[in-house]
Amino acid sequence: MLTEAKRVTKFVLQYFSANLQSAMEYRGAFLSQIIFMFVNNIMLLFFWWVLFSKIESLNGWSFQHIMRLYAIASGAYAVKAILFGGSFSLSSTIAEGGLDFYLALPKPVLLHVLVSRSFASAWGDLVFGLAIFLLTVSPSIGMLLAFVILILAGGLVMTSFAVIAHSLSFWVGYGARLADELTEALLTFSLYPEGIFSAVTRWVLYTLIPAGFVSYLPVRIMDEFSWPYVGLLGFFVLGIVLVARFIFYRGLKRYESGNLVVTNAAG
Amino acid sequence: MQLVRAGHLKKYLQVAEISLTNRVVYLADHFASSIFLLLILFIFSQLWRTVLGAGGTLAGLDSTGMLWYMVFTEVIVISTPAYHRLVSDEVKSGDIAYKLNRPYSYTLYYLAAHCGEFAIRFVTNLAIGAVFAYLTMGPLQVAWAQLGWVIISFSLAMVLTFLMNFSLALLAFWFEDNRPFFWIQSKLVFIFGGMFVPVEAYPAGLRIVSYLLPMRYGVSAPARLMVDFDYAFLWQVLLGQFIWATILSLITAAMFQKGVRRVHVNGG
């Protein structure tokens, strides 16, 4: 079990390193993408800055909380886009017969598809998340570690949700648009404070579209640390990862190879 | 830019009609892409209800007015077609050379296509956004007697957005990659175009800057006019739109003339 975990971690890190080196090959483009994404996220905070210049608090949420929310959500998104970039185009991979390449190799298919792509611009999200986070807390090694763990948890929730949404392609054919709409909804809801939503919407955001576990609960953990919250987050992350894995492999049994002739080069 | 003679107007109207018809064919696809509009309106309906409650206002608008304002700003932005990408590609690839000797003005052709597609997108997106806003926040008090003025303002906004995008697309004559300019413009539209809140809610410094830039006249001003009509505001908006339309037309014409001289056709 431990050896297997070690092997998987090593595999993910090898791909991460290869993807990073590939992005760094064009250093100018890599840096400009990071800067553009950083500025892009700053612009998103502009609206809240204007709003909080008019009001004190929003159902218990202050501008400080909103900044933490953005730090966690953009960090989680960065984890998904940097480590598991293949999750963005999984339905196209399924519908176009792209899984053939991964099925022929001696690595876990789902993990291999997920780690095979990485988005350089997401480093901008990570830098933004970290910068905003450091602005809202008194920096320490402990806090930094907490931030890394929380964005990893959020990233796993986002990735698993994307895998579930894109795996619908096994049953409905080309479901890229539906999957994109669902994943976009998760990201969008993650960027708005739960304090504005009604009880019914909040229920949805802690179940069907789990934005609550991407950003709301992590912000609460940072704000008022408690082990039950940590346990709940850990339990949900483990659950959704297993559900996503189950659905993908269930769908894989229905997978029919495409007749599209493509050339893939192993990294 | 060629001047449009009365007899020539018909062909540009036909271009607009073709562009509109093309979009109607993919109407189902278009409605599917409106999901994001509903999502963002849903979030903001809850946000404004929480922030403004029963009697609160922001920049003179209550929660119902704020959501309707957002319906119009979002609809303007998401209904704006992306012809500028096509123009950029044609300039970069040199294909523009083959379009220049056709019996129409290149700029007016794309203006007509832009208007045709904008019109159908605007109507369908507005239908979706309006139904949602009506069901969640209630009706908008429309100044029916003044609606003609508001439509004129929206039409000028449509022309302004075209001129802004087209002039940026023409930068492809001088820059290998003009995408960063569009990216910067989209951020300026977000802030100075008042996408989420009317620019009147901004701190004084930012408000003044937004009054001086064209983005406000392309997005925020017509939307505000629709939800809170006022004659003094109308004249201010129309004047701003007219001035910016003139300035951008002159810039576009000058850029086009200079740019076309740089076109080299390889191999005929």
Report chain A's terminal Cα–Cα distance, integer Å: 27
Shortest CA distance from A184: residue in chain B: B36
Q: Is the dihedral of CA A69, A71, A72, A75 positive or negative?
A: positive
Residue to substitute from B46, B183, B184, B199, interface A, most A β-carbons within 10 A: B46
Given pLDDT bands bounded at 50, 70 and 90, which one contains residue B91? confident
Given pLDDT bands bounded at 50, 70 and 90, which one contains residue B267? very low
Give the DSSP letter of residue B58: B
> Is residue B152 pLDDT above 80, yes or no?
yes
* Any domain includes B266: no
Residue A56 touches chain B, beta carbons under 8 Å: no
The Cβ-side half-sphere exposure at B207, using a 13 Å CA radius, reads 10
* Any domain includes B268: no
Shortest CA distance from A189: residue in chain B: B43
Q: What is the pTM of this model?
A: 0.85
From the list B36, B47, B202, the residue facing A192 with the nearest CB is: B47
Q: Which distant-in-sequence residues (6+ apart) come within 8 Å of A216 by Cβ? A: A69, A193, A194, A205, A206
Residue A196 touches chain B, beta carbons under 8 Å: yes
Q: What is the reported pLDDT for B99?
A: 81
- How many other CB atoms sit within 10 Å of the CB of residue A81? 24
What percent of chain A shows pLDDT beyond 70?
96
* Any domain includes A267: no
Given pLDDT bands bounded at 50, 70 and 90, which one contains residue B247? very high
Task: Check B46 against A185: CB less than 8 A apart.
Answer: no
Task: Check B43 against A192: CB less than 8 A apart.
Answer: yes
* Any domain includes A156: yes
* Any domain includes B162: yes
From the list B36, B46, B201, the residue facing A54 with the nearest CB is: B201
> Is residue B175 pLDDT above 90, yes or no?
no
Domain membership of residue A153 as a residue range: 9-252
Domain membership of residue B57 as a residue range: 6-261
The Cβ-side half-sphere exposure at A141, using a 13 Å CA radius, reads 0
> Is residue B3 pLDDT above 80, yes or no?
no
* Any domain includes A234: yes
Domain count of the fold of chain A:
1
* Any domain includes A100: yes
* Any domain includes B66: yes
Q: Which distant-in-sequence residues (6+ apart) come within 8 Å of B124 by Cβ? A: B27, B30, B31, B34
* Any domain includes B227: yes
Query: What are the pLDDT digits (tens) for A42-95?
Result: 888 999 999 999 888 888 899 999 999 999 999 999 999 999 999 999 998 988
The ipTM assigned to this model is 0.83
* Any domain includes B267: no
* Range in A187-191, B33-37, B78-82, B115-119 with the lowest mean pLDDT: B33-37
Residue A28 touches chain B, beta carbons under 8 Å: no
Domain count of the fold of chain B:
1
Q: What is the reported pLDDT for B27?
A: 65
* Any domain includes A258: no
Residue A138 touches chain B, beta carbons under 8 Å: no
* Any domain includes A107: yes
CA distance B85 to B101: 21
- Which positions of chain A have pLDDT values less than 70? 1, 257-267
